[in-house]
Amino acid sequence: MTLARKGQLILLKTDPIAQDIRAFLTDREARGLSPRTLQFYADELRNLAAYLQSHGVAETEAIAPTDLRAFLLDIANRRNPGGVHAAYRAARAFLNWYASEYEPEGWANPIRKVRPPRVPQKTLDPVPIADIRAMLDTCERRTFTGDRDRAILLCLLDTGARASEFCALDIGDVDLRGGAVHIRAGKGGKARVAFLGDRSRKALLDYLRHRQEAVGPLWVGETGTRLTYDALRSIMRRRAAMAGVPVPPLHGFRRAFAIASLRAGVDVVSLARLLGHADLSVIRRYLAQTEADLQEAHRRAGVVDKWL
């Protein structure tokens, strides 16, 4: 039996697969992975261990490719393709680590014979700009929550930061004169620089006038403690309800930043660096929407259809 708590597994001594998983999580934690990533691995591998144990597979070296395929099929009954692929990625990371860590003689890594499940490449929808404007209109000026929430909406959109990165910002990470935002807790522990424009910097200054301290968390609640991911989502739900618009996903602000940047002519390499992407694969999904924009523009004003 296994349980996940704060990115770790609580194990029974008689549970060999779970013991290997705990060693894997310890290795990932030592590499500096974020608590959210550790929790992802813990949750996904707990599901894998439970499935294998229920089917009589007691040790990691006894896992066969057929076991992994059957596990993915079982997961597919409850998840969408993206969720199935997440389970595959966690299993692949664990088994590749096990092969490298222990180098068991005569053992063939079963994941090598299991092809990754396909994930449909859907376009990524941004938060509509009109919805953001409506939410901004609900922010009461010269009040702590109003000025804070207004700054949050503008800065989240202007930086293109992930929500976890955004919540982790400290006051000292922002250059209010030049607009540089130093994201030190990026995905995979990678730091990068994002930027704020004039309007976002002004909104941020309006919010910071309510703060007495010059150091510490940038985004705080009314008690002065750092704003959490869940608290940020709660702010979005409240502002959306007040504005009468759908609740925007936090990642939708990042998508809106990416698509608006592409439409404004930002090159894909610069955009990837601003977003903290290691490659251009996700950028290509944003490009699919801008290509759709071009197709619609051609449909409305195609030379042959309109003039010949």
35 and 172 assigned to the same domain: no
pLDDT in tens, 157-205: 999 999 999 999 999 999 999 999 999 877 767 789 999 999 999 999 9
Q: Is residue 216 part of a domain?
A: yes
Q: Do 187 and 146 contact (CB within 8 A), yes or no?
A: no
Q: What is the mean pLDDT of residues 207-229?
A: 93
260 and 124 Cβ atoms separated by less than 8 Å: no
The answer as to whether 186 is a domain residue is yes
Please name the residue that has the structure tokens 């597919």: 76
Q: In this structure, what CATH number is given to the domain that contains residue 278?
A: 1.10.443.10
Tokens 């549970």 found at: 15
- Which pLDDT score, from 0 to 100, does residue 186 have? 72
Domain-terminating residue out of 78, 113, 148: 113
Number of domains in the chain: 2
Tens digit of each residue's pLDDT (9 = 90 or more) over 259-274: 889 888 888 889 989 9
pLDDT digits (tens, 9 = 90+) for 11-67: 444 589 999 999 999 999 999 888 888 999 999 999 999 999 999 999 999 999 999
Whether 110 has a pLDDT exceeding 70, the answer reads yes
199 touches 154 (CB < 8 A): yes
Asked if 191 and 182 count as a contact pair (C-beta separation under 8 A), the reply is yes
- Cα separation of 167 and 230, whole Å? 10
Q: Do 109 and 133 sit in the same domain of this protein? A: no
Q: Is 183 helix (H, G, I), strand (E, B) or coil?
A: strand
| Whether 188 and 258 share a structural domain | yes
Cα distance between residue 126 and residue 307, in whole Å: 34
Same domain, 179 and 75: no
Of 65, 86, 113, the position where a domain reaches its end is 113
> Model pTM?
0.68
Q: Give residue 191's pLDDT.
A: 87
Return the minimum-mean-pLDDT range out of 45-59, 225-239, 292-306. Answer: 292-306
Together in a domain, 153 and 253: yes
Q: Which domain holds residue 223?
A: 129-298
Q: Tell me how crowded residue 11 is: count the other CB atoms within 10 A of its CB.
A: 18
